[in-house]
Chain A
């Protein structure tokens, strides 16, 4: 187990493809010349030579890359001219990511990606192509406990598999679906204006309106096709999504064509967020994701989020967390909402924008003024919606925040995980007893700030009190004097 290993030879092909991709820009002018002037033999041979050099380069690169997994660490040696030797201690590993692209699956291989705490790309390591068994072995060895004992295998760990019907629902209610439905709604609400009533009056125009109707149904059909494709894509991407909780790690695996496995040590998790977009909120559905410290590609399963589950019922969230992530389970936090007097702060920003829009549009294109006028109605409504969503809750260990930009997000933070705690106010806020909270945590690359505006100052100050160890600074001067 201790001797040096090379990657699977197929990684030569991967490397070759990758360097071709990198060199593509260099090739472009050459190709351009060939297309314009017709190719002569030396141009072709030059191109051929270049390809051969790239291929040899790939072979040498493969040959000069070796790795060893020991009891304590992963050692990687690489570099053609400049040799680099890197050792990554097991304890420093944030997460291990196993991926199989289609190309990998043809050869029966997988990619092992190891992420450490820093966000320095050069520190992280990846084994581009190893056999399936080897990948499993490496990842098993690098996990905190090393290889699992027999006893571990017998012990029943909580595990959940998502069915295809649930994945279909995930795709059907995704954010893209909302955009698609929005477009449909717009189409239908505008349809009557596109075909004015007089059009039906004489025969030629009737024909024309038929054509318009045909066009509309064509658009409708293509929109539905896009929606369906989205559903299928979700089902393929997250096929057999399985989550397992081991002693100290969460283990997720999914994918039909491109298979991925991901191991996250529980103590690297910085925040748990329950997110509901509009459709899902109506249906009582949501998804749960976590913010993880460290790693260049951080939790990139989709964007920067690491799904714990792509879809579950809102009511099932406490039960789910209780089983899989009891560290972050806080049943029914009981949110404290901002007072009525903070409502204007939620509205006025959007109101300002839409009023400006009304003025600008009425000056430039008066015929379209109805659009921004509608916006002045909708945006403040949105502000009310956001105000109703905002909330804060805290106890000795947890800080819960709830807010909405478009989707509603409910955040569970552990007090001990906060990087900084901020309180913001203005002169007006102070007069009205309001304050904005800004809690910063560490996520994959930079920090992430959770900001909830215009809450009761009382609540924010008390939250700071549970967060901070320093007595005194949380009390008003008057309170201190009064005892």
Chain B
């Protein structure tokens, strides 16, 4: 498990993740609005607002600009005849080998945001664990799903 898996996921994943992050920004924005209102009406100290604004800026830089890019660069996968090999994780890099023998079922799923970018996620489940390959093109995802489920169709499966 020293070589990186060969395939990258779609680059549009970055945009999709960015959009998701922007949507999630609603929560800190609401909080910020609340603290500004508190500043105006019950006269909170000004530095609370300063901290809140800078936190929001940091959040935007990380969740919208940095993380999606880094995440995309790290996500990789490769499907072998007997194994699926996946890598992900920004700070902690995880590499996982899933034997085909152990694959119970493969799903593709697509939320509204992925749909907008015509992307889909492949989920590989064993009896004990679940693994994801996010953000492939729709055709790629369904192709991969079919291919894995075909490879996983092995007689000897005792558990």
Q: In the bound complex, how far is the Cα of B121 from the Cα of A186, in angstroms?
A: 55
Closest to B97 in A: A421
Q: In the bound complex, how far is the Cα of B98 from the Cα of A469, in angstroms?
A: 11
CB distance from A17 to the nearest CB of B (A): 36
Q: In the complex, what residues of A have CB within 8 A of residue B127's CB?
A: 293, 419, 442, 447
Q: In the bound complex, how far is the Cα of B91 from the Cα of A426, in angstroms?
A: 6
Contact B92 A424, beta carbon cutoff 8 Å: yes
Contact B129 A470, beta carbon cutoff 8 Å: no
Q: Residue B7 at the A interface, CB < 8 A?
A: no
| Contact string against B for A residues 438-473, beta-carbon threshold 8 Å, 1 for contact and 0 otherwise | 101111001110000000000011001001111011
Partner of B2, one of A424, A442, A448, A473: A473
Contact B159 A442, beta carbon cutoff 8 Å: yes
Contact B159 A423, beta carbon cutoff 8 Å: no
Contact A464 B1, beta carbon cutoff 8 Å: yes
Contact A447 B128, beta carbon cutoff 8 Å: yes
Q: In the complex, what residues of B have CB within 8 A of residue A438's CB?
A: 94, 96
Contact A470 B80, beta carbon cutoff 8 Å: yes
How many chain B residues touch A (Cβ–Cβ < 8 Å)?
Answer: 27
Partner of A470, one of B85, B96, B158, B159: B85
Q: Residue B82 at the A interface, CB < 8 A?
A: yes
Q: In the complex, what residues of A have CB within 8 A of residue B97's CB?
A: 420-422, 464, 467-468
CB distance from B76 to the nearest CB of A (A): 12
Contact A461 B2, beta carbon cutoff 8 Å: yes
Q: In the bound complex, how far is the Cα of B1 from the Cα of A475, in angstroms?
A: 7
Of the listed residues B1, B78, B91, B92, the one surrounded by the most CB atoms of chain A closer than 10 A to its CB is B1
Contact A418 B93, beta carbon cutoff 8 Å: no
Q: In the bound complex, how far is the Cα of B98 from the Cα of A438, in angstroms?
A: 12
Of residues 285 through 301 on chain A, the ones whose CB sits less than 8 Å from some CB of chain B are 293-294
Closest to B2 in A: A476
Q: Residue A117 at the B interface, CB < 8 A?
A: yes
Of residues 1 through 23 on chain B, the ones whose CB sits less than 8 Å from some CB of chain A are 1-3, 5
Q: In the complex, what residues of A have CB within 8 A of residue B89's CB?
A: 424
Partner of A293, one of B3, B92, B95, B159: B159
Q: Residue A124 at the B interface, CB < 8 A?
A: no
CB distance from B134 to the nearest CB of A (A): 17
Contact A421 B129, beta carbon cutoff 8 Å: no
Closest to B127 in A: A442
Q: In the complex, what residues of B have CB within 8 A of residue A421's CB?
A: 1, 96-97
Q: Residue A474 at the B interface, CB < 8 A?
A: yes
Q: In the bound complex, how far is the Cα of B99 from the Cα of A467, in angstroms?
A: 9
Contact A472 B3, beta carbon cutoff 8 Å: yes
Contact A418 B91, beta carbon cutoff 8 Å: no
Q: In the bound complex, how far is the Cα of B92 from the Cα of A424, in angstroms?
A: 6
Of residues 400 through 448 on chain A, the ones whose CB sits less than 8 Å from some CB of chain B are 417-427, 430, 438, 440-443, 446-448
Contact B83 A469, beta carbon cutoff 8 Å: yes
20 pairs of residues in contact across A and B, judged by CB atoms under 8 Å? A268-B159, A270-B159, A294-B159, A419-B129, A420-B128, A420-B129, A422-B97, A426-B92, A427-B91, A438-B94, A440-B129, A442-B127, A443-B128, A468-B82, A469-B80, A469-B82, A469-B83, A470-B83, A475-B2, A475-B3
The 10 closest A-B pairs by CB, nearest first: A447-B128, A464-B1, A419-B128, A442-B128, A422-B96, A419-B126, A421-B97, A469-B82, A442-B127, A423-B95
Q: Which residues of A does B touch, CB under 8 Å?
A: 117, 267-268, 270, 293-294, 417-427, 430, 438, 440-443, 446-448, 460-461, 464, 467-470, 472-477
